[in-house]
Structure 1
């Protein structure tokens, strides 16, 4: 690992290059003002309410009814329509008056909502301004008390990610959901004054490569070094390259999990009683791509992703050791290990690096730009 002094000089010079490039880039075309977030998908019923009166309309904009402030109704499927109080239609649009908030399921949300039938149940999509959306995402993905420069790096990464997904989702009913499958969103519950500040001070800023918003993925902690994207998921991307991480102080930097032989054999399945587990293929940084699992009935190869899911591991960066009665798994990091490391961003911010420098380190060859001029 390079020394802090060398890192600081090299980092500063690199930042000077990509930041000046960002200044030279023309502003990107304006994106859709709203992001579409899947709050509920195909559920039997959804509780709906508002902090102010909610106007209920159909797809064409015709007013169908109101939900008074402080009241709630249950939206449920009724034949081929949605019933909400005394209103019934194939699709309902909900808009709070006087800048009020929506209660959907069990949380408060900014913006409007669309209810429709899907998966033989009711789905709710929150249509919310991208900047308002980020108030919550930054606080749901990072700890709100972290250094402001780390929060600002998260804001730019999350904005870039959401708009990249939006560009890919034109034929779908939503752009992102509320889980770690995309990025975590908790409505007003995720917001704090610090997350609002981070969003405001980076308003409209995104990471781009060759004029296009990048797939700005992120994770909690890489365990010392991030990965090239093609070693984890897909084909190479010039801005998702493995780099040294600075996450050593993360509580998930190192972790251990123990299993009895019987428990491990049951969870992995298909080979009988497990005798040994040996890496068959790993990434350059040591994450498990495939593991050879040998049991008393047969031997087979299991993907690292399958093992992580089956065993509830924090990452695919782990080793397996046999003990007398079972196995010990020792690992590092939390998440897929591609793109921005949140704990690494925290450490760099605390060392005095700003959000532009942090982003430039984790998204190699990308530049900062602004949407909409």
Structure 2
């Protein structure tokens, strides 16, 4: 992108920022931990900028320059094994906006400051942002800002607990979490709203605990009527991730269906030739498919429900499969026509996500009935307490299997 075009894009974004209301986090939020979020990973170059004059530092914390307001620049690897930002080079580059300014990374504005590092011969951009400021965006990225306040508060506490659990068991030296559904969605200030900021501030520093330790507060969009016990979906039993009734009937993904031609299905679920039959072998107590058998004209194999979900890009593993045979008008002329192989498969399912922990549409349903966020959280996270972050026992890095927030 030409530099003039980059400057125009930054200027237009700054104009939009100018009309946003200003919010100051409460004192407890200002003292909150910092979260390292991987925004752009191993890119050949990354556009960066600042909404205010920004100090440029090297890996030793020494100031090596300044980036003027509205002057975007490209970060890229240099020939000598350093990161280059404009005319500045260092093993690491930090961009620190003055006066609580924002950083531009790729195509979005973010609170906090920016770290640029070399990564596999490319550049990775990491946003260092205060926990509560991070949540302003996460809540608005994960659910609708127009939802009832108590649903937004429940999402804020769940997201706060989840990111702290992941940070304390992090195995990646570069950053604590990414910005996608593998962790939890984080879109910068574009997804903030007065309602999401108010929900985060109202619950500042509150986390879900079991035995005085922060829990792995996973969540999903919609369970399709009932959440799951964690051991029936992924890992060992946990006393707080238990299956409970959901209240997500208003979710647009409560019911769904997808159809595939036999050619499409056979190309996505390979190894058996032309698919003739798909049959469930084992389900969870609440109906999610754990194992199923795929039979084709070249054999059969048993696969996991989640494997099929990923291969077909299904919303959940809570589904049934039906098939429709091909036919033509000659079949009606035969007294005993031979059975025809299927030409199409239809998958009918419910819900969106893994079905563990908080159901976001379930929280919406409960909040719409006047249930407060404390009761919403205690329903979806059984046997837990709502605790102040300052009184929680520090976690260690030797946790169990890590699972994604939503998938």
- The TM-score with structure 2 as length reference comes to 0.83
Contact 2:48 2:106 in 1 (8 A): yes
Look up the match of 2:93.
92
- Report the Cα distance in structure 2 between the residues aligned to 1:83 and 1:220, rounded to whole angstroms: 41
**Map of 1:1-80 to 2, 5 A cutoff?**
33-79=33-79, 80=81
2:382 matched to 1:361?
Answer: no
2:372 matched to 1:371?
Answer: no
- Report the Cα distance in structure 2 between the residues aligned to 1:298 and 1:118, rounded to whole angstroms: 44
- Report the Cα distance in structure 1 between the residues aligned to 2:123 and 2:303, rounded to whole angstroms: 37
- Deviation of 1:302 after TM superposition, in Å, equals 1.5
Look up the match of 1:332.
350
- Report the Cα distance in structure 2 between the residues aligned to 1:367 and 1:119, rounded to whole angstroms: 42
Contact 1:56 1:64 in 2 (8 A): yes
Contact 1:218 1:339 in 2 (8 A): yes
How many pairs are equivalent? 344
SS at match of 1:244: coil
- Deviation of 1:289 after TM superposition, in Å, equals 1.3
- Report the Cα distance in structure 2 between the residues aligned to 1:365 and 1:359, rounded to whole angstroms: 10
Look up the match of 2:370.
352
**Map of 1:125-140 to 2, 5 A cutoff?**
125-140=126-141
- Deviation of 1:118 after TM superposition, in Å, equals 1.1
Look up the match of 1:271.
272
- Report the Cα distance in structure 1 between the residues aligned to 2:118 and 2:188, rounded to whole angstroms: 23
Look up the match of 2:361.
343
Report Cα offsets for 1:45-78 as digits up to 9, x if no partner.
Answer: 1001010011110121100111100101100011
Contact 1:31 1:371 in 2 (8 A): no
**Alignment gaps of 5+ in structure 1:** 1-29
- Deviation of 1:33 after TM superposition, in Å, equals 1.6
SS at match of 1:196: helix
Range moving further from structure 2, 102-111 or 229-238: 229-238
- Report the Cα distance in structure 2 between the residues aligned to 1:83 and 1:164, rounded to whole angstroms: 34
2:320 matched to 1:319?
Answer: yes
Contact 2:56 2:96 in 1 (8 A): yes
SS at match of 2:390: coil
- Report the Cα distance in structure 2 between the residues aligned to 1:58 and 1:83, rounded to whole angstroms: 11
SS at match of 1:263: helix
Contact 1:31 1:372 in 2 (8 A): no
Contact 1:319 1:330 in 2 (8 A): yes
Distance 1:280 1:364, change over 3 A: same
- Deviation of 1:172 after TM superposition, in Å, equals 2.0
- Deviation of 1:31 after TM superposition, in Å, equals 9.1
**Map of 1:166-315 to 2, 5 A cutoff?**
166-169=167-170, 172-315=173-316
Range moving further from structure 2, 257-266 or 333-342: 257-266
- Deviation of 1:171 after TM superposition, in Å, equals 5.7
Give 1 or 2 for the bigger CA radius of gyration.
Answer: 2
SS at match of 1:177: coil
Distance 1:171 1:270, change over 3 A: closer
| Runs of 4+ residues deviating >6 angstroms | none
- Report the Cα distance in structure 2 between the residues aligned to 1:284 and 1:118, rounded to whole angstroms: 44
Look up the match of 2:154.
153
- Report the Cα distance in structure 2 between the residues aligned to 1:144 and 1:167, rounded to whole angstroms: 29
Per chain length, whose mean CA-contact separation is higher, i.e. which structure has more relative contact order (CA < 8 Å, sep 6+)?
1
- Report the Cα distance in structure 2 between the residues aligned to 1:170 and 1:332, rounded to whole angstroms: 34
**Alignment gaps of 5+ in structure 2:** 1-29, 326-342, 392-407
Report Cα offsets for 1:162-207 as digits up to 9, x if no partner.
Answer: 1111111166221111100000000001100000000000000000
- Deviation of 1:35 after TM superposition, in Å, equals 0.6
- The TM-score with structure 1 as length reference comes to 0.90
Contact 1:41 1:119 in 2 (8 A): no
RMSD of aligned alpha carbons: 1.3
SS at match of 1:176: coil
- Deviation of 1:249 after TM superposition, in Å, equals 1.0
SS at match of 1:227: coil
